[in-house]
Structure 1
Amino acid sequence: MRNSALDFTRVAGLLVAALALLSPGCAPRKLPEARASFRYFERPDPYDAWSFKISQWQSRQRAEAEAGPLEAAGGTLRNRYLQRRGELRRELAQQVATWIQEEAKLYYTEDMLIDHWPTLGEVLVADAEDCDGLELLVQQLLLDLGFPGDQVYRAVVRRPSDDQHHMVTLWFESPDDPWVIDPTGAMVLGLRRMSEVPGWVPLKLFTSTEEFTVRQAFRTP
């Protein structure tokens, strides 16, 4: 019996050793799965189950947008949303101001004889511009970043002390005291309210489709 037990043990050991030799030393590498490819902007089928619900939401969302901007009052979540949106926009505007003033150190150049106001394409092709070209980059960048088009304007400003004219971007987060982004830093560095920049007077506001004249507002006591 003892010899039989020893023989069985030897056989079992040999089998384990054989299996160890046949098995790989590490876990096998998993073959990579085929990467899925999607066509994202296909038209829905006529009877798509989701289309009705999407259409209903689109109608309500458009109607709400046409009714006017969101009001600050009306709920904690709404207030927190509007507050955070304002904070992020101000952070972005500050970053844009810092960026363009650094770029101006590299790309600013005076117009030689004629004060030509370039288009955006002309600015990018010329690779060098004065304040009215660099400012256009600011206005366009704010629009590209999602700032409302009725809040961002190009502005001609004047310094009465020496009759110096300049071009900046005004962002009307509030209607009476806009933020100033100066492309060169000649008027202000960073992001400042118009009320924080004494010595300069706004003359004109305009976009690619609108033009406004700025007049002094006299407050009654």
Structure 2
Amino acid sequence: MSLFRRRKTEAPAIDDDAARVRLLDAAVSVLGRDAGAPLGTVARRAQVDDETARRLFPTRHALVEATVVRGATRIAGAAFLDDGEPREQIAMLIGRVWQDQAPVLPLTRLGARGPYRRSVERALAPLRATLREAIALAAERGDVRADISPAAVSWLVEQAVIDVIEAADAQALAGADPLQLAMTQALCAAGIGWGDATDVAIAARARLADVDSRRD
């Protein structure tokens, strides 16, 4: 019999608020790569014991919903329209969201099409209002379709972007540039011809790249 027993290593105690933040941060990292990962995997990544994790998020559904809603709320709060003509404003808005979500597409897809969609849509309300504003301006100029309301056009744009998210997550784009494709498809859904949409998307992509280079 050994005179010494190996003591079980335990994570230092943290309060519930800190544990919740750690679990949500870990969920982005884990579920952003594997949308089907279990709650226990997220808890281990967060260094939060299973008992605390299950007390804060009794089900995996609760954790995923809280994660995608937190992300949607953050994105919506940061939404704005860049300078420029409305079509480019639409492309830039879509491009910024795409850049933000590109590293975690499996999680984004869950929020866009999964059982959390209604909660995510409510959280995205400010972003959707900003998109409708740009579409309404473009419609007044005759740059996008005006046969249906800006709200309806905005919905079509949103669905087009979600389609690209699904295709990119499934690795079905055959070498296409997902960022540019998302912007192009969004503009096409708004009623812009493919050629013009591509030109606007290329210009918007160049602007985004310039902003990124200045940050570096």
* Structure whose CA Rg is larger: 1
TM-score normalised by structure 2 residue count: 0.29
Higher relative contact order (CA 8 A, sep 6+): 2
Pick the structure with more helix per residue: 2
Pick the structure with more strand per residue: 1
